[in-house]
């Protein structure tokens, strides 16, 4: 037995003995006065039977009746050490409250009773508490810092509901919330719903809630505007403009290698091997200039350094190849496209154009998947391959020629 446990046991035994001695003295005194026992004496006799020691305090030692007070059915009792004490039950567990005076004990009791039950064990965890846990358990360290920052930004719109217990926020309340959000920010509404739905699903799996109210919420999902690839004529104009632009080398690197803008902006001299003709993608840069891991694990890759890329890349022995951050290059790109009157084109369109040119050249989809760093070939085929009209017409001619040759 630990010394602390032994001391606690002694305190409990001492308290019990003091109660017995007090009752014996009261009985002897009343017998000497030849007074019959009262109901209060019987209550004192039952105190020892009803009392149960808890882990939060030593055995309560009570003084005579005049030192006791009542508050909302709770008895405030004075202990032998001079402090006042009472207890209450919550979630099947006993809680003790103390005070140097009876009034202080009552005030401490009021505070304890008003304190919300915000623990997962009690089944009334608030939305804000769970969102904080959800981020720490399932997002921090598992997604890019920039993505985590975006999620936190979207969750700010739910602040008015975050103090409520999750089980108390109904599907109707959520429907009203999303309807109001969709009127002003339809795309933001879709993003917030997706984030919250994941958090609720995790809570349901951990049995923190009985059901997911978002299952009964209808939100119109706004599809992301699809990026398009440059046509051959647009690509010629774009390349010509990049050759005369101080930032053109980075854009051509994205076009010729199919890189994401963050991957290209993070390149340094050690990533380029001109002799082996390889380019290593091991990092990415965010809008604020923070360098971190690429978007996904499959984004880390070694790909061929194509001939056109080798011609335009800066030949540096060390250091970064491009000086600005991702956000700066995106702004420069917008100005360049506006100057060239290229509508619906962004930096990411250059990656789409690369995949499309690969398809037109007959490169196998699995190879393109590896070059782009996609986790599945379907992503490469469904999202990034855009068949241009000129290429489609040439394929029609091939098909017609085939039938003309063999079936006529």
CA-to-CA distance for 258 and 261, rounded, in angstroms?
A: 9
Write down the mean pLDDT value for the chain. 81
Q: Among residues 332, 351, 177, 188, which one has the least CA distance to residue 259? A: 351
Residue 344's CATH number:
1.10.443.10
244 shares a domain with 162: no
Is 110 a domain residue? yes
Is 132 a domain residue? yes
Confidence at residue 212, expressed as pLDDT on a 0 to 100 scale: 95
Confidence at residue 339, expressed as pLDDT on a 0 to 100 scale: 94
CA-to-CA distance for 295 and 269, rounded, in angstroms?
A: 21
Is 209 a domain residue? yes
387 shares a domain with 238: yes
374 shares a domain with 250: yes
Q: Could you tell me the two tokens for 126?
A: 């608030």
150 shares a domain with 70: no
The alpha-helical segments, DSSP class H, found in 139-247 are 145-155, 171-184, 186-205, 232-243
Q: Among residues 185, 230, 200, 258, which one has the least CA distance to residue 340? A: 230
CA-to-CA distance for 353 and 358, rounded, in angstroms?
A: 9
369 shares a domain with 266: yes
Is 51 a domain residue? yes
Please enumerate in sequence order all residues whose Cβ is within 8 A of that of 309, keeping only pairs 6 or more positions apart, or say none. 252, 253, 256, 257, 279
Q: Could you tell me the two tokens for 237?
A: 């104009």
Is 121 a domain residue? no
Is 22 a domain residue? yes
273 shares a domain with 208: no
CA-to-CA distance for 58 and 79, rounded, in angstroms?
A: 11
CA-to-CA distance for 26 and 44, rounded, in angstroms?
A: 10
Confidence at residue 379, expressed as pLDDT on a 0 to 100 scale: 75
Please enumerate in sequence order all residues whose Cβ is within 8 A of that of 203, keeping only pairs 6 or more positions apart, or say none. 125, 130, 134, 166, 209, 212
Is 406 a domain residue? no
Confidence at residue 94, expressed as pLDDT on a 0 to 100 scale: 76
378 shares a domain with 280: yes
68 shares a domain with 152: no
Point out the residues of the chain with pLDDT beneath 50: 47-66, 118-122, 406-407
Q: Is residue 106 helix, strand or coil?
A: helix
The total number of structural domains that make up the chain: 3
Last residue of a domain, one of 216, 242, 273: 216
Torsion of CA 278, 283, 286, 289, to 10 degrees: -90
CA-to-CA distance for 338 and 206, rounded, in angstroms?
A: 51
Confidence at residue 57, expressed as pLDDT on a 0 to 100 scale: 45
Which domain range does residue 64 map to?
Answer: 3-114
Q: Among residues 176, 163, 156, 157, which one has the least CA distance to residue 216? A: 176
Tell me the whole-structure pTM to 2 decimals.
0.57
384 shares a domain with 236: yes
CA-to-CA distance for 28 and 205, rounded, in angstroms?
A: 63
Confidence at residue 71, expressed as pLDDT on a 0 to 100 scale: 78
Confidence at residue 337, expressed as pLDDT on a 0 to 100 scale: 94
Q: Could you tell me the two tokens for 100?
A: 């140097």
Confidence at residue 181, expressed as pLDDT on a 0 to 100 scale: 94
pLDDT, tens only, 356-407:
888 888 888 899 999 999 888 887 877 655 555 555 556 556 555 655 554 4
Residue 144's CATH number:
1.10.150.130
Q: Could you tell me the two tokens for 84?
A: 């006042």
Is 401 a domain residue? no
Last residue of a domain, one of 157, 187, 216: 216
Rounded to the nearest 5 percent, the helix, strand and coil shares of the chain are: 55, 10, 35
Q: Which residues of 228-256 are buried (b: 16+ CB within 10 A; e: fewer)?
A: bbbbeebbeebbebbeebebbbbbbbbbb
**Secondary structure of 327-384 as H, E, C letters:** HHHHHHHHHHHHHHCCCCCCHHHHHHHHHHHHHHCCCCHHHHHHHHCCCCHHHHHHHH
382 shares a domain with 338: yes
CA-to-CA distance for 42 and 341, rounded, in angstroms?
A: 96
Last residue of a domain, one of 192, 216, 240: 216
Confidence at residue 184, expressed as pLDDT on a 0 to 100 scale: 92
364 shares a domain with 254: yes
Where would I find the beta strands (DSSP E) of 2-91?
69-71, 74-78, 84-90
184 shares a domain with 100: no
Question: Residue 255 is inside which H or E element, if any?
Answer: helix 248-257
């Amino acid at each position: 037995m630990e010394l602390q446990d032994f001391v606690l046991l002694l305190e409990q035994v001492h308290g019990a003995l003091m109660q017995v001695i007090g009752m014996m003295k009261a009985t002897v005194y009343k017998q000497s006065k030849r007074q019959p026992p009262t109901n209060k004496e019987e209550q004192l006799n039952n105190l020892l039977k009803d009392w149960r020691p808890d882990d939060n305090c030593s055995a309560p030692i009570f003084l005579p009746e005049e030192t006791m007070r009542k508050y909302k059915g709770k008895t405030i009792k004075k202990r032998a050490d001079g402090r006042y004490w009472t207890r209450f039950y919550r979630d099947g567990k006993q809680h003790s409250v103390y005070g140097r005076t009876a009034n202080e004990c009552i005030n401490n009791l009021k505070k304890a009773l008003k304190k919300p039950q915000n623990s997962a064990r009690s089944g009334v965890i608030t939305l804000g508490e769970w969102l904080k846990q959800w981020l720490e358990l399932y997002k921090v360290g598992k997604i890019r810092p920039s993505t985590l920052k975006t999620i936190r930004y979207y969750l700010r719109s739910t602040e008015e509901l975050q103090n409520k217990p999750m089980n108390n926020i109904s599907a109707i309340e959520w429907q009203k919330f999303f309807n109001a959000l969709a009127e002003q920010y339809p795309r933001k509404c879709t993003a917030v719903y997706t984030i919250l739905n994941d958090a609720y699903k995790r809570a349901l799996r951990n049995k923190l809630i009985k059901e997911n109210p978002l299952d009964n919420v209808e939100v119109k999902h706004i599809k992301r505007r699809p990026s398009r690839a440059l046509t051959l004529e647009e690509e010629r104009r774009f390349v010509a403009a990049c050759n005369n632009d101080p930032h053109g080398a980075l854009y051509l690197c994205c076009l010729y290698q199919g890189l994401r803008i963050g991957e290209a902006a993070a390149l340094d001299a050690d990533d380029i091997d001109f002799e082996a003709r390889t380019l290593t993608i091991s990092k990415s840069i965010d809008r604020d200039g923070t360098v971190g891991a690429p978007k996904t694990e499959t984004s880390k890759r070694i790909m061929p350094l194509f001939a056109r890329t080798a011609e335009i890349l800066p030949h540096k022995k060390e250091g970064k190849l491009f000086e600005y951050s991702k956000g700066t290059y995106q702004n420069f790109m917008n100005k360049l496209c506006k100057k060239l009157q290229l509508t619906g084109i962004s930096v990411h369109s250059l990656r789409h154009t690369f995949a499309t040119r690969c398809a037109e050249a007959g490169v196998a989809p699995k190879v393109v998947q590896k070059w782009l760093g996609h986790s599945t070939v379907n992503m490469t085929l469904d999202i990034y391959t855009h068949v241009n009209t000129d290429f489609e017409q040439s394929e029609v001619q091939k098909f017609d020629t085939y039938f003309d040759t063999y079936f006529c």
